[in-house]
Amino acid sequence: MRINLDVLLILDALDKQGSFAAAAESLFKTPAALSYMIQKLESDLNIELLDRSGHRAKFTDTGQMMLEKGRLLLSAAKDLEKQAVQLSSGWEKELAIALDDSFPFASLLPIIDEFHALNKQTRLNFTHHTLAGSWEELTHNGADIILGAINEPPTSAAWSYKMLGTLDNVFVVAPEHPLAAAPDGLTNEQLCLHRAIVISDSARFCHPLQTNLMEEQAQIRVDDFHSKVMLLRAGLGCGFLPRHIANPWLATGELVEKTVISFRQKDVAYMAWRNNRDGLAQRWWRETLMASPDVTHLYINDPSTPRRKSPAASGYPRQARLCPPGAAIG
C-alpha cells in the first residue's frame, strides 16, 4: 500500500493551514519534506493531488477526494489507538446489559449520558427480556449485567447479585371493564370469569416462570408490557402491572386500580453480574446503578423479604444450580 497516514496528515494540515510553510510548522517538519512526500505519492499513483499553476497550490478534484476520505481514515486510526490503550487499561470493548421488561429504560438515560461523557469507547449493548429470560441471559447468553430480573436467582460462584427490592404490583382494569364497577376485594372466583393479560416468558432453556396465574382463567399472552398495557386500556382483559408502569394510566383514568383478596406473591427484583468479567466498565455501571435514585425508587425495600447472599459475598462456594435445557430456575 502506497498511501500512509503521514501523507494524509500532511494533506489535512495543508488544507487547514493554507500554505506549506504553516502546515510544516504545525507538523514540526520542513516545507521541503512535505512537498517531497506529496510529490512521491503523486508519482507512485500517477495522479495529481495539487494544482500548482497559481500563486498558491490548490487541491485538484482527486486531491479533494483524497483529503475527505483520508480524514475518515485518520479519525478511524485515532479511535483505534484510543481503544487499544483503553482496552489494555481495563476498559472493555463492549458491555452487554440485559434488562427485565419491567425495568423502565428511560431511567438509564442519564446514566448512559454520564458514561458516554467518560469517552471510554466501550460499546453498550442493551436487550430486553421477561421473567426467567433475564436470568437466562446471564447463565446462557453471556450478558455482563442483568437488571431488574425477578424471582429466585440461580446460584453459582460464576456470578454475584444484589437484591434491588420488591416490585409494587397493582391489579388494574379499564374503566369500562366489568370488574371496574365491582366492590374492592376481588376474589379468585371473580377473576376466573374474566380474561387475563399475561406476559410470556422469554426463556428458551430454563423452565418458564409463572406468576399469579390460574390455569382455568382465559388468557391473552404478549411479549412485553407495552402490549399488555394496550390490551388493558382497551378493556380486553385484566391483570397486574408494576406500579411505575401503571401510574401514568392511573393518573389519566384510563386504568383503574382494584384490590384483590387472593395471595399475591411478591416479585423480588435483582441486579446480577458475571464475576469473570470484572472490567472497569462493568464495575462503573454496577456502582452507578446501585447509587442511582432513579433505580432505587422503582422498588420497595421490604424488611420482611429474605435477603440472600450471593456466593461471592458469603465467603464460601455454594453448589451451582444452573438451568440446562429443560431444567427449572429456583
In order along its 330 residues, the chain shows pLDDT tens digits of 788 899 999 999 999 898 999 999 999 999 999 999 999 999 999 999 999 888 888 999 999 999 999 998 988 888 777 667 656 767 888 899 999 999 999 999 999 999 999 988 889 999 999 988 888 888 877 789 999 998 777 777 788 999 999 988 899 999 999 999 999 999 988 999 999 999 988 887 666 555 556 777 899 999 999 999 999 999 999 999 999 999 999 999 999 999 998 756 578 899 999 887 778 999 999 999 999 998 888 888 765 554 443 333 222 222 233 343 322 222
In this structure, the answer to whether residues 274 and 158 fall within a common structural domain is yes
Residue 65 lies in a domain: yes
The domain boundary residue, chosen from 232, 258, 284: 258
Q: How far apart are CA 202 and CA 77, in angstroms?
A: 40
In this structure, the answer to whether residues 9 and 55 fall within a common structural domain is yes
How many structural domains compose the chain?
Answer: 3
Q: What is the CATH number of the domain that holds 64?
A: 1.10.10.10
* pLDDT tens profile 267-323: 889 999 988 777 899 999 999 999 999 888 888 876 555 444 333 322 222 223 334
pLDDT score of 318 = 27
In this structure, the answer to whether residues 21 and 66 fall within a common structural domain is yes
The domain boundary residue, chosen from 88, 107, 126: 88
Length of the chain: 330
In this structure, the answer to whether residues 18 and 82 fall within a common structural domain is yes
Residue 121 lies in a domain: yes
Instruction: Write out the residue range of the structural domain in which residue 64 sits.
Output: 5-88
pLDDT score of 211 = 56
Residue 330 lies in a domain: no
Would you give the DSSP letter of residue 131? Answer: T
Q: What is the CATH number of the domain that holds 278?
A: 3.40.190.10
pLDDT score of 157 = 79
In this structure, the answer to whether residues 162 and 278 fall within a common structural domain is yes
In this structure, the answer to whether residues 132 and 69 fall within a common structural domain is no
Q: How far apart are CA 262 and CA 237, in angstroms?
A: 18
What are the cell numbers at 103? 425495568
In this structure, the answer to whether residues 175 and 253 fall within a common structural domain is yes
In this structure, the answer to whether residues 141 and 278 fall within a common structural domain is yes
Contacts of 103 (CB under 8 A, 6+ apart): 147, 148, 269, 298
Residue 59 lies in a domain: yes
In this structure, the answer to whether residues 123 and 236 fall within a common structural domain is no
Q: Where are the beta strands (DSSP E) in 101-252?
A: 123-129, 145-150, 159-166, 169-173, 196-199, 219-222, 239-242
In this structure, the answer to whether residues 202 and 81 fall within a common structural domain is no
Considering just the CA atoms, what is the radius of gyration of the chain in Å? 30
In this structure, the answer to whether residues 181 and 162 fall within a common structural domain is no
